Amino acid sequence: MANIAKNFVGEILNMAGIEINGPQPWDIKVHNEKFYSRALKGSIGLGESYMDGWWDVTALDEFFYRIIKANLEKEIGFNFKTAMFILNNTVFNRQNENRSSEVAEKHYNLGNDLYTAMLDPLLAYSSGYWLNASNLAQAQQAKLDLICRKINLQPGDDILDIGGGWGSFALYASKKYKVHVDVVTISKAQIELGRKLCKDLDVCFILRDYREIDGSYDNIVSVGMFEHVGYKNYRDYMEIAARHLKTNGLFLLHTIGRNKSVKSTDPWIEKYIFPNSMLPSITQIGQSIEGLFVMEDWHNFSADYDKTLIVWHANFEKNWPSLKDKYGERFYRMWRYYLLSCAGSFRARRNQLWQIVLSKNGVAGGYQTIR
């Protein structure tokens, strides 16, 4: 049985140009023969066996790029556990208000030391914009400025940032464009550090679920938060944004997206990284905004997320010696697997990165596209 599993896995990997114990940096090095049967259990088996040290790949990002580009998951097919996971996500609203704080506790509250070591000085935890940037700090400032220009920020504007993290957008927009920003987030750790970073700026952090938002705003932004909303809540989310956006305001949605509509996420990502998450499709977003918003602009710069993740991983590796006593070896392998598998997915163009500009009634005379 073990040899059958090994031969099958070897044949599947060969379809992606990956060789077991081969010489290329994307070839897999197997340390435990039980890996082969465990890998056939799908995403969970592959990820957990890596976390347990059963296999290694020098260029993990290239390994996943090749696997995803070759659509190897179709060759393996579904197992029962994966099927039940998808069914559970279809029947139940896993992103309801009672469950919304789970991702904060499991991911965003892990430790500000981890994110400070990995991210840029503004702690922007979404893709940078690399068009004219040569390093991560420049790419993140370019992304933040792009957002500000796309919604035509004016001094004195009241801005709502839904899921604003440690306040990177709020800090940048308040300092450069002289606006007031309310940051709504469910992460206590992010608020604690964000308030320090935005001290003396016109920024207010609010510990609140997006369904509890108050007030009326000139513009709304949401950067890297929609991935946690869930397809059962997309319409409610858009209705809330429309309700709190002033008549002539703009809503900029910055989100990772998928090429196909799904109702669940990768089981390993769900278990270890982002519980209750899922990526929207163009169809799902389009249905959620129908009758509420006019789509003024849709900008895809997904290749930039590959670059961003590679730099985050390099920062993580460089600063790991100061983190390892707190987080441990299994976390190191888990986090490395997370960052580089996502980089491979963006490189293979499985994941997209969208900035969508929405208006309530259409911009008079037409919206001027900004890049």
Q: Which domains does the chain have, with CATH numbers?
A: 2-77 (no CATH), 102-359 (3.40.50.150)
Mean pLDDT value across the chain: 92
Catalytic residues, by residue number, are: 342
- Mean of the pLDDT values across residues 343-347? 98
At residue 98, does pLDDT exceed 70? no
pLDDT higher than threshold 50 for residue 112? yes
Give the pLDDT confidence score for residue 1 in this predicted structure. Answer: 57
Q: Does the pLDDT of residue 341 top 90, yes or no?
A: yes
pLDDT recorded at residue 261:
95
pLDDT digits (tens, 9 = 90+) for 284-309: 999 999 999 999 999 999 999 999 99
Confidence band, pLDDT 50/70/90 cuts, at residue 82: very low
Higher-confidence residue: 251 or 87?
251
pLDDT above 90 covers a percentage of the chain that reads: 86
pTM of the predicted model as reported, rounded to 2 decimal places: 0.91
pLDDT tens per residue across span 222-247: 999 999 999 999 999 999 999 999 99
**What does the H/E/C string look like for the chain?**
CHHHHHHHHHHHHHCCCCCECCCCCCCEEECCCCHHHHHCCCHHHHHHHHHCCCEEECCHHHHHHHHHHCCHHHHHCCCHHHHHHHHHHHHCCCCCCCCCCHHHHHHHCCCHHHHHHHCCCCCCCCCCCCCCCCCHHHHHHHHHHHHHHHCCCCCCCEEEEECCCCCHHHHHHHHHHCCEEEEEECCHHHHHHHHHHCCCCCEEEEECCHHHCCCCEEEEEEECCHHHCCHHHHHHHHHHHHHHEEEEEEEEEEEEEECCCCCCCCHHHHHHCCCCCCCCEHHHHHHHHCCCCEEEEEEECCHHHHHHHHHHHHHHHHHHHHCHHHHHHHHHHHHHHHHHHHHHHHHCCCEEEEEEEEECCCCCCCCCCCC
Between 73 and 338, the more confident residue is 338
What was the pLDDT predicted at 76? 58
Instruction: Name the band, by pLDDT with cuts 50, 70 and 90, for residue 101.
Output: low
pLDDT of residue 97: 56
Reported confidence tier of residue 81, pLDDT bands at 50, 70, 90: very low
pLDDT exceeds cutoff 90 at 333: yes
